Amino acid sequence: MAKNAFYAQSGGVTAVINASACGVIETARKHSDKIGTVYAGRNGIIGALAEDLIDTSLESDADIAALRHTPSGGFGSCRFKLKGLEESKAEYERLIEVFKAHDIGYFFYNGGGDSADTCYKISQLSEKMGYPIQAIHVPKTVDNDLPITDTCPGFGSVAKYIAVSTLEASFDVRSMAKTSTKIFVLEVMGRHAGWIAAAGGLVEDQGIPVVILFPEVEFDKEKFMAKVKAKVEEHGFCTIVVSEGAHWPDGKFLAEQGTRDAFGHAQLGGAAPVVANMVKDELGLKFHWAVADYLQRAARHLASKTDVEQAYAVGKAGVEFAISGDNAIMPAIERISNDPFEWKIGKAALSEVANVEKMMPMDFISDDGFGITDACKEYLLPLIQGEDYPPYKNGLPDYVTLKNISIDKKLPAFEV
Amino acid sequence: MAKNAFYAQSGGVTAVINASACGVIETARKHSDKIGTVYAGRNGIIGALAEDLIDTSLESDADIAALRHTPSGGFGSCRFKLKGLEESKAEYERLIEVFKAHDIGYFFYNGGGDSADTCYKISQLSEKMGYPIQAIHVPKTVDNDLPITDTCPGFGSVAKYIAVSTLEASFDVRSMAKTSTKIFVLEVMGRHAGWIAAAGGLVEDQGIPVVILFPEVEFDKEKFMAKVKAKVEEHGFCTIVVSEGAHWPDGKFLAEQGTRDAFGHAQLGGAAPVVANMVKDELGLKFHWAVADYLQRAARHLASKTDVEQAYAVGKAGVEFAISGDNAIMPAIERISNDPFEWKIGKAALSEVANVEKMMPMDFISDDGFGITDACKEYLLPLIQGEDYPPYKNGLPDYVTLKNISIDKKLPAFEV
């Protein structure tokens, strides 16, 4: 008889992680001879530990299809990392109990680097703890830092959002620069890598002066001010894209500028206001600043069509690989060509994915450290191609909220 | 012979002010027997004073059409307010000189409240200074504070952007709330009025708990904390939309929380981080915050179709009114019905527009001061209806940058 499957979303959500969920569930439904019910963990792996399993078979085909155009994690996600098999033995044993109780033979884990590591450990349960399960990691992360795969679903849509927002705000400040705002600072995500910040550089071809502050490049205030000054002299205005991970040579984030509130507490600021005020103090230029935060990774209204398609494809391929007997693998996106952009889904061994972080190549950053190179543009541009608008109802996107009904528990409670 | 026209953009730009420019120029081109060349002021009225006039006849029909889908001010805007006819006599005399030198008989001023006042004064030049000119004010402002007109072009698109962004970020935080972020704070524009903040309330019908901090309601920390706590207890998370104009009973903005930088300077913060840190200190909840700033008013990629159509219509009507002999008027949007939404363009006397600020009706704010009423929803919803996507090229919106070629100057320089 067909084994059931477990699917969970892990870590920070994205505009397209639900498209992967859609790919997993729709594909499983097509192969009901091989896969029984897909149970989703409520709030990720915590749902498995707590035996809080959502019965996705109770969701209509239309609602599952609507996941493709709905941002966020439809089943809830969590920040929870399982440790090694020895250290977290009780948790792994609990997982096996839950899987056994609900006849689960497939484990689909939709996440980033930490999740790949967890998924790899689950894949070894078969061998190490005698429970037969196939574990497939479905890649997702706006950080774009998983190895082997050309990109990580979720990143392309953030890149598109940041590029479009940078373009639009730059047009705005260009209009205002004669008598008012001359500097616009946009803070973007990326504590360790500048992938997202790099996307701001894609607007340079439209004549927009952009200065990027990458986490990969130690902040040099003097050089930065000279660069901004030169851009303003040439163009009359300048846009600055600052990664939240931009930092001083001593490693201190720009956001931690020693600012104190009325009670003397260190103020959790944001890099954008710090940079903006710095430019005002040094160059006397009027500024505006924005912090995109969750807006950037939730912006399904502006998703990259390429990204949506890839997100769906890795979910679909995950199920197909599982059916064909694979274990301990991750569907990986392989770029075939840039122009025309072609790609296919390959297969990466989790042993080579777990605990490996892909950094941005240094030849993607221009020599002065404030911009991106042609090689970077060639890499990024295909990832933001195409629009994939959600349907709208009464002026707002018609996103789905699932029923998310849990199945009856069979086991005693477990303290997560 | 047909008189020429002067057109200028004034104050903060919007996602659709160029759609009004498109309406003005396309309509003028259709009536070349009545209107000669449309000259645009480079950087607004400053362009007229400096005799820096852009010859829009040198722009192709396609580029003028593309203004309809391009955010920002295509000819540049400025923050520059002419004073009264007596106080700024030199400036008004200069304007007349420039208008005379270039045979300008029509003055189209595209702006908000201050601009309406300037436009009204220009309309009196004919009578008071003996120069025949017809002055038409084309309404624009994201602040939505012009009287008589049902709404101000520019506002509907900001409202749509804020509603969609609030929805998307709320879906995100809902996914994360179990183990991580429970509070999301979005700061929006609106120093004096809560029109834009109100748009965040439109997502409540989708089950999203939203607490709004309006400039119209004095901040009551205790009441606010109780409200947020109750929402989090009920829903597991809460979204807070804070207007930049939210303030304490003594009038001090929330953004000016006495925060000092390392040098003791008052830190220009932003209300969002202040509110977020306050919630963390009081309730111990993990938060994320965003400041939309220019992104919200430049987001042509997410413009409201209704807004684009109204922006174009007021530009078109402005020219038609001028041709029919009107002076000292503003095309005003008149709402005929809500469902189906119908509207038409009427005519407002500038004498009744200048120096009148339309505030948000207090019955638009819920009794507890943290939400919007059904009356407010009925007003807002029609304004965000419909999508009007720009064309895309290589992954980015294909916005136009005009050639903007100035005509030869005929007059001596003038110090602006």
Q: The pTM is what?
A: 0.97
Q: Give the closest of A257, A269, A301 to B168, CB-based.
A: A301
Please give the Cα distance from A46 to A41 (Å, whole number).
7
Q: What is the least distance, in Å, from the CA of A216 to any CA of chain B?
A: 24
Q: Do the Cβ atoms of A348 and A367 come closer than 8 Å? A: no
User: How high is the pLDDT of residue A126?
Assistant: 79
Identify the closest residue of chain B to A386 by CA–CA distance: B395
What is the edge-to-edge ordering of all strands in the sheet holding A210-213?
Answer: A210-213, A238-243, A183-188, A287-291, B287-291, B183-188, B238-243, B210-213
Cβ <8 Å between A396 and B293: no
Cβ <8 Å between B291 and A288: no
Q: What percent of chain A has pLDDT over 70?
A: 97
User: How high is the pLDDT of residue A81?
Assistant: 87
CA atoms within a 13 Å half-sphere pointing along the CA-CB vector of B273: 26
Contact residues, chain B, for A177 at CB < 8 Å: 76
* pLDDT tens figures, B30-59: 999 999 999 999 999 999 999 999 999 999
Compare B376 and A257 and report the one with higher pLDDT: B376
Contact residues, chain B, for A294 at CB < 8 Å: 168-169, 172-173, 184, 288, 290
The conformational region for residue B307 under phi > 0 = left, psi -120 to 50 = alpha, else beta, is: alpha
| 3-class DSSP assignment, residue B171 | helix
What mean pLDDT is predicted for residues B177-193? 95
* pLDDT tens figures, A373-398: 999 999 999 999 999 999 999 999 99
Sign of the alpha-carbon dihedral angle for B67, B116, B135, B334: positive
Identify the closest residue of chain A to B394 by CA–CA distance: A385
Q: Which helix (H) or strand (E) holds B338?
A: strand B329-338
CATH 3.40.50.450 corresponds to the domain A3-141+300-355+387-397: yes
Exposure string of A117-154, with b = 16+ CB inside 10 Å and e = fewer, is bbbbbbbbbbeeeebebbbbbbbbbbbbbbbbbbbbbb
Q: How confident is the model at residue A1 (pLDDT cuts 50, 70, 90)?
A: confident
Cβ <8 Å between A173 and B12: no
What CATH architecture applies to the domain A155-298? 3-Layer(aba) Sandwich (3.40)
- At residue B85, does pLDDT exceed 50? yes
Cβ <8 Å between B395 and A381: yes
User: How high is the pLDDT of residue A85?
Assistant: 86
Report which of A279, A45, A274 is spatially closest to residue A173, judged by C-alpha positions.
A279
Q: Do the Cβ atoms of A267 and B267 come closer than 8 Å? A: yes
Instruction: Among A261-265, B106-110, B234-238, name the one with the lowest average pLDDT.
Output: A261-265
Report which of B199, B221, B218 is spatially closest to residue B210, judged by C-alpha positions.
B199
Q: Give the closest of A72, A80, A277 to B171, CB-based.
A: A72
Sign of the alpha-carbon dihedral angle for B387, B388, B391, B392: negative
Contact residues, chain B, for A291 at CB < 8 Å: 270, 272, 289-291
Question: What is the average pLDDT score of chain A?
Answer: 95
Enumerate the domain spans of chain A. 3-141+300-355+387-397, 155-298
Q: What percent of chain A has pLDDT over 90?
A: 91
What mean pLDDT is predicted for residues A347-368? 95
What mean pLDDT is predicted for residues A274-282? 94
DSSP state letter for B391: P
Cβ <8 Å between A172 and B394: no
Report which of B111, B124, B39, B122 is spatially closest to residue B80, judged by C-alpha positions.
B111
Q: Which amino acid is at B3?
A: K
User: How high is the pLDDT of residue A415?
Assistant: 87
Q: How confident is the model at residue B258 (pLDDT cuts 50, 70, 90)?
A: low
Cβ <8 Å between B179 and A79: yes
Contact residues, chain A, for B179 at CB < 8 Å: 43, 46, 78-80
- At residue B268, does pLDDT exceed 50? no
What mean pLDDT is predicted for residues B284-308? 97
CATH of domain B3-140+302-356+388-397: 3.40.50.450
Please give the Cα distance from B406 to B411 (Å, whole number).
14
User: How high is the pLDDT of residue B416?
Assistant: 82
Give bridge partners of residue A337 from the DSSP assignment: A342
* pLDDT tens figures, A94-125: 999 999 999 999 999 999 999 999 999 999 98
Q: What is the least distance, in Å, from the CA of B243 to any CA of chain A?
A: 14
Return the number of CB contacts < 8 Å for A and B.
247
SS3 assignment for chain A: CCEEEEEEECCCCCCCHHHHHHHHHHHHHHCCCCEEEEEEECCCHHHHHCCCEEEHHHCCHHHHHHHHHCCCCCCCCCCCCCCCCCCCHHHHHHHHHHHHHCCEEEEEEEECHHHHHHHHHHHCHHHHHCCCCEEEEEECCCCCCCCCCCCCCCHHHHHHHHHHHHHHHHHHHHHHCCCCCCEEEEEECCCCCCHHHHHHHHHHHHCCCEEEECCCCCCCHHHHHHHHHHHHHHHCCEEEEEECCCECCCCCECCCCCCECCCCCECCCCHHHHHHHHHHHHHCCCEEEEECCHHHHHCHHHCEHHHHHHHHHHHHHHHHHHHCCCCCEEEEEEEEEECCEEEEEEEEEHHHHCCCCCCCCHHHECCCCCCECHHHHHHHHHHHCCECCCCEECCEECCCCCCCCECCCCCCCCCC
Q: What Rg value do the Cα atoms of chain A yield, rounded?
A: 23
Please give the Cα distance from A90 to B38 (Å, whole number).
77
User: How crowded is residue A324: how many other Cβ atoms within 10 Å of its Cβ?
Assistant: 9
- At residue A269, does pLDDT exceed 80? no
Q: What is the least distance, in Å, from the CA of B405 to any CA of chain A?
A: 16
Cβ <8 Å between B298 and A77: no
| 3-class DSSP assignment, residue B254 | coil
A70, A176, A275, A339: best mutation site toward chain B, by most B Cβ within 10 Å?
A176
What is the length of chain A?
Answer: 416
Active-site choice (B143, B145, B307, B388):
B143
Please give the Cα distance from B242 to B289 (Å, whole number).
10
Please give the Cα distance from B131 to B323 (Å, whole number).
18
Q: Do the Cβ atoms of A158 and A14 come closer than 8 Å? A: yes
* pLDDT tens figures, A294-351: 999 999 999 999 999 999 999 999 999 999 999 999 999 999 999 899 999 999 999 9
What mean pLDDT is predicted for residues B387-407? 98
Cβ <8 Å between A73 and B175: yes
Q: Do the Cβ atoms of B372 and B201 come closer than 8 Å? A: yes
* pLDDT tens figures, A198-219: 999 999 999 999 999 999 999 9
Question: What is the average pLDDT score of chain B?
Answer: 95
Q: B3-140+302-356+388-397 and B155-298: same fold?
A: yes
Q: Do the Cβ atoms of B272 and B186 come closer than 8 Å? A: yes
Q: Give the closest of B177, B207, B399 to A401, CB-based.
A: B207
Contact residues, chain B, for A186 at CB < 8 Å: 295
What mean pLDDT is predicted for residues B200-224? 97
* Cα–chain center distance at B185: 22
Apex B310 CA angle, B30 and B379, nearest 5: 165
- At residue A264, does pLDDT exceed 70? no
Q: Give the closest of A173, A290, A301 to B302, CB-based.
A: A301
Please give the Cα distance from B22 to A13 (Å, whole number).
40
A275, A285, A293: best mutation site toward chain B, by most B Cβ within 10 Å?
A293
Pairing of strands B53-55, B183-188: unpaired
User: How high is the pLDDT of residue A343?
Assistant: 98
- At residue A268, does pLDDT exceed 50? no
For the annotated catalytic residues of A, the residue numbers are 143
